[in-house]
Amino acid sequence: MLLTVALSLSAALTYGVSDFLGAVGARRTGVLNGTAITYSLALFSLVVFWAVVGGTPSTAAVVWGAVAGVAAIVGFLFFYAALAAGPISLAAPLIAVVGSLVPVGVALLRGERLSLVAWIAVLLALAGAALISVTRRGAPVGIPPRTVLFSVLAGGMLGLSIVGLDFAPTESGLLSAVVEIAVGVALLGVLLIANRWNPVRRALAVLDTDHEHSAPDDAADEVAVVTLGRARLSSASGGILLGIANGLIVLALHSGSLAIVSVLVGLYPIGTIVLARIVHGERLAPVQLIGVVVAIAASVVLAVPQ
């Protein structure tokens, strides 16, 4: 159990920093381009990680990795869209709660039992998600409806991707995670090519918020290039950490319960919120802060053996 908790919390911390960096990059480069950069570097770091850990290749690992990959890429596109729409400190916890509840539900269907205390924690998590989504007049930060929609879709798909990774054979090591990211890179390549056509471009434009597509004027060229370069570096750094986080998640799943791993990994918003507070100065309304605390507390309770 100690190993599972350590791996899951390490994955959560790495995930949180990765998500923040990826969101920062997506705000400047666009969700599709930013995610492509992030995924490409994630694949590189995962292949290195896999080479270190080792494992026996299997058809089942490839199949479940591919299933997880499709779910994950859809989830990440909506994830970065939600964080780009902002505010990060509200979208991230909502995504985490939904992403935790989906694997918990699957774990129950597979026969993993939860106590009365755990069920109460599930209800608290749902209540926390509702409070996070509250927008009241005069609040320092509100959460747009599009952020709520994108967050729920992102959480649901990312939760399903964890389930897919859990179904992969343990002896395959990190192969399922490598396939997951590789499938995502391939799908992103298809989307980038299809994005040349206006109908597809218009459909994908819904993912971007406050993204300037027009060319900067001459006086701002140098600043814009530096800003875009830093955004790409941010997406790349987030990708390296994403690959490491995915590897840690698979190792945690191989060592323990799907439900426990999913809710512990769901604590990643702690890192995201702290960075959003430090870098962007984002503030929460009191009711929203209560929602964040309740959601994180519920995840902790779910992770404690009953």
- The alpha carbon dihedral of 119, 302, 260, 82 has a sign of positive
Q: In this structure, what DSSP letter does residue 268 have?
A: T
pLDDT band at 222 (very low <50, low <70, confident <90, very high): very low
Q: In whole angstroms, what is the distance from residue 154 CA to residue 77 CA?
A: 8
**257 vs 281: which has the higher pLDDT:** 257
**How long, in residues, is the chain?**
306
Helical packing angle, 286-303 and 116-132, nearest 10°:
150
pLDDT at 301 over 80: no
For residue range 67-102, what is the model confidence (pLDDT) as tens digits?
999 999 888 888 777 877 777 667 777 787 888 889
Q: In this structure, what DSSP letter does residue 219 have?
A: G
Check residue 138 and give its pLDDT: 43
Count Cα neighbours of 57 within 13 Å in the Cβ-side half-sphere: 4
**126 vs 212: which has the higher pLDDT:** 126
Check residue 70 and give its pLDDT: 95
Look up residue 115 and give its two tokens.
């106590």
Dihedral over alpha carbons 151, 152, 153, 158 (to 10 degrees) = 80
Which ranges in 168-306 belong to alpha helices (H)? 175-194, 198-204, 221-255, 258-265, 269-280, 286-303
Helical packing angle, 258-265 and 2-29, nearest 10°:
40
For residue range 36-61, what is the model confidence (pLDDT) as tens digits?
899 999 999 999 999 998 888 999 99
- 305 closest CA partner among 267, 266, 265, 260: 260
pLDDT band at 167 (very low <50, low <70, confident <90, very high): very high
Q: In whole angstroms, what is the distance from residue 160 CA to residue 175 CA?
A: 18
Q: In whole angstroms, what is the distance from residue 301 CA to residue 100 CA?
A: 12
- 91 closest CA partner among 303, 280, 304: 280
Q: In whole angstroms, what is the distance from residue 35 CA to residue 79 CA?
A: 10
For residue range 105-163, what is the model confidence (pLDDT) as tens digits?
898 888 877 678 877 877 787 677 667 655 544 444 566 788 888 889 999 999 999 99
pLDDT at 22 over 90: no
Q: In whole angstroms, what is the distance from residue 38 CA to residue 30 CA?
A: 12
Check residue 217 and give its pLDDT: 41
pLDDT at 292 over 90: no
Check residue 207 and give its pLDDT: 62
